[in-house]
Amino acid sequence: MAAFEIRAMTPADVDAAVALALAQGWRDRRHFYAVVLRTPSCQPLVGTIDGRVVATGLATASGAVGWLGAVVVDEPMRGRGYGRAMTEELCRRLRGAGCQTLSLVATDAGRPLYERLGFRLVTHYHEMDADHLSREPEPPAGARLRPMMPEDLPGVLELDRLATAEDRHAVLAELAKAGGWVLDDATGLRGFLLPSDRAFAAIVAPGFEDGLCLLDLHRHLAPPDGLARAGIPGENVAGWRELEARGWRPNWLAPRMLLGPDVPWRPGWIWGQINSAMG
């Protein structure tokens, strides 16, 4: 029987990785892989048999917290331990990068494996969709909404660190190259939006009305025939209830699981995710 081998993904593997995800019902991940292959904190992996890609996975080291995701195994190859081998390799690499807590968003299919490996449920993200808004939103009184400038990046990274308790500078700096938005006033930064993969965007704002404004901007930036997606931690009860009242449609109650110490984050500040594989 041919051996299952795990190695770093290369640009030459992207077509096979995209096809593998599409075959399992996931959306096209070409842009996703283009970003992670450019980001030094990310380790995208493939599992091969006789040189053929039959599995994928991603490890993202964000300081003390490491994220793993995008674990996909070719359906005919399931039940042979390849998913577990990939997950264990992702965990090994994250620990090697100094991550003390490992985090993931689990699918129904993957959750039993993660529980056997010691991961525990800590919360859910309320992932919700909404249609394009034709008009750019008005910012709250006293605030201004403007395109992000290079000099904004340190403040964005610090606000993100306070919100997530993670060091996501490598990923956010890569996303910022394509452009982003900030909400500020005379006292400083109040929130930011960095468009990400597909309908996702990294959105952080300590203020309730500021977060809602940035989500309206996210909808405005979506294609006229497209969607915007919010990812609201369950602890932000007022946030996800307000979105439901505004017509956002529940898409998925996504379980966040941890292995290791709890994360001292501020979930009420988080209004959108980079994506479900990277937090």
The DSSP secondary structure of 66-112, one letter per residue, reads EEEEEEEE-GGGTTSSHHHHHHHHHHHHHHHTT-SEEEEE--TTTHH
The pTM of the full predicted model, rounded to 2 decimals, is 0.95
Which of the four pLDDT bands, split at 50, 70 and 90, describes residue 66?
A: very high
Long-range contacts (CB closer than 8 Å, 24 or more residues apart) made by 9-13: 9/33, 9/37, 9/44, 9/45, 9/46, 9/56, 11/37, 13/46, 13/53
Write out the two tokens for 130.
């909404």
4-99 with 126-272: one CATH topology?
yes
| pLDDT at res. 197 | 80
Do the beta carbons of residue 180 and residue 193 sit within 8 Å?
yes
What is the DSSP code (8-state) at residue 269? G
> CA torsion, points 193, 196, 202, 208, in degrees to nearest 10?
60
- For 210, the enclosing helix (H) or strand (E) is helix 208-221
Identify the CATH number of the domain defined by range 126-272. 3.40.630.90
Strand order in the sheet with 201-204: 144-147, 181-185, 188-195, 201-204, 270-272
Distance separating alpha carbons of residues 82 and 171, to the nearest angstrom: 28
Write out the two tokens for 169.
């500078």
| pLDDT at res. 77 | 83
Question: What residue spans define the domains of the chain?
Answer: 4-99, 126-272
Distance separating alpha carbons of residues 75 and 250, to the nearest angstrom: 28
Does domain 4-99 match CATH 3.30.420.40? no
pLDDT 10s digits, 81-112 = 999 999 999 999 999 999 999 999 999 989 99
Distance separating alpha carbons of residues 119 and 113, to the nearest angstrom: 9
Strand pairing of 101-105 and 65-73? parallel
pLDDT 10s digits, 212-252 = 999 999 999 999 999 999 999 999 999 999 999 999 999 99
In single-letter form, the type of residue at position 180 comes to G
